[in-house]
């Protein structure tokens, strides 16, 4: 029997990378998992890959109507929510002189607004003892040339984690965040314009990690499973850095 048998989880941004690895791990621990993503074909493939009870819901976290629909589907199952992994997000490089209002809006609407309103929309469904886990980034405590808007959005999520933990403690709901370092995902490679540039980007990022490698999505998923489980029952308001020591050494 897994640590999450009988529990219900929602993972946003679950069609690839960290989100898919986390959904897979939560399902392996016995949870019924709802997955969201913007691409129906990728979502269907993710659900099929899980190998356990799961439901895919096509949704964009930056669209309030989509979030309402996600909550409605979960509500219909009748078990509420025990785990929310608010993972959907992304970013693009832009030097200070190149940042546009659209770049800012796209990044904050998805990373900050999408997380905020995902949590708000499903809040009535969260059961006592539920765990909210937010995907932040180790960049929230570091400077990053040409990545300042993304970094600022992740710092906002760190602040949300503290405030929501204080606000929801009375409902016995825990709120923590995970701050990954560079992880080998399609999203990270996609920041580069071509395969050669992508490999150079990954090599440079790995060189900056004390452990001299990129993280694996499964390693982040392990931390998600820990925060979702009773093993972390005395943790709230915390941020766990899973980054090979990049933010600490």
The answer to the question of residue 144 being in a domain is: yes
Q: Residue 234 has what pLDDT?
A: 98
Report the catalytic residues. Answer: 150
Q: Residue 198 has what pLDDT?
A: 85
Q: Residue 210 has what pLDDT?
A: 94
Q: Token digits for 200?
A: 């150079």
Domain that holds residue 88: 8-180+215-242
CA distances from 9 to 54, 126, 176, 185 (A): 9, 10, 15, 22
Q: What is the pLDDT of residues 67-88, one digit of tens each?
A: 999 999 999 999 999 999 999 9
Which residues, in sequence order, are CB contacts of 99 under 8 Å at separation 6+? 148, 149
Match 């979702």 to its residue by tokens: 228
In angstroms, the CA 82 to CA 148 distance is: 34
Q: Residue 80 has what pLDDT?
A: 97
Tell me what percent of the residues of the chain surpass a pLDDT of 90. Answer: 85
In angstroms, the CA 226 to CA 219 distance is: 11
CATH number for the domain including 156? 3.40.50.720
Q: What is the mean pLDDT of each run of 10 residues along the chain (249 residues)?
A: 94 96 96 96 94 92 97 97 96 95 97 98 98 96 90 97 98 98 87 86 90 96 98 98 94
The answer to the question of residue 197 being in a domain is: no
Enter the pTM of the model: 0.95
The answer to the question of residue 206 being in a domain is: no
Match 């580069």 to its residue by tokens: 192
Q: How many distinct structural domains can be found in the chain? A: 1
For residue 180, what are the β-bridge partners?
242
């Amino acid at each position: 029997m897994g640590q999450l048998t009988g529990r219900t989880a929602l993972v946003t941004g679950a069609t690839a990378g960290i989100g898919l690895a986390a959904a897979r791990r939560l399902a392996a621990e016995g949870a019924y998992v709802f997955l969201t993503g913007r691409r129906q074909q990728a979502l269907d493939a993710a659900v099929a890959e899980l190998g356990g009870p799961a439901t895919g819901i096509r949704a964009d976290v930056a669209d309030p109507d989509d979030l309402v629909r996600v909550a409605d589907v979960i509500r219909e199952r009748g078990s509420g929510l025990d785990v929310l992994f608010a993972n959907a997000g992304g970013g693009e490089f832009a030097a200070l002189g190149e940042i546009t209002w659209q770049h800012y809006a796209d990044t904050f609407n998805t990373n900050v607004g999408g997380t905020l309103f995902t949590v708000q929309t499903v809040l009535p469904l969260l059961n006592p003892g539920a765990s909210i886990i937010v995907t932040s980034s180790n960049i929230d405590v570091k400077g990053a040339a040409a990545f300042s808007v993304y970094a600022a959005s992740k710092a906002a999520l760190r602040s949300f984690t503290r405030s929501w933990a204080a606000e929801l403690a009375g409902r016995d709901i825990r709120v923590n965040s995970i701050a990954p370092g560079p992880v080998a995902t399609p999203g990270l490679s996609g920041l580069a314009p071509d395969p050669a540039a992508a490999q150079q980007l990954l090599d440079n990022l790995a060189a900056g990690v004390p452990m001299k490698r990129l993280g694996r999505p499964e390693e982040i998923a392990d931390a998600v499973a820990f925060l979702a489980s009773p093993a972390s029952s005395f943790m709230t308001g915390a941020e766990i850095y899973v980054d090979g020591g990049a933010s600490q050494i």
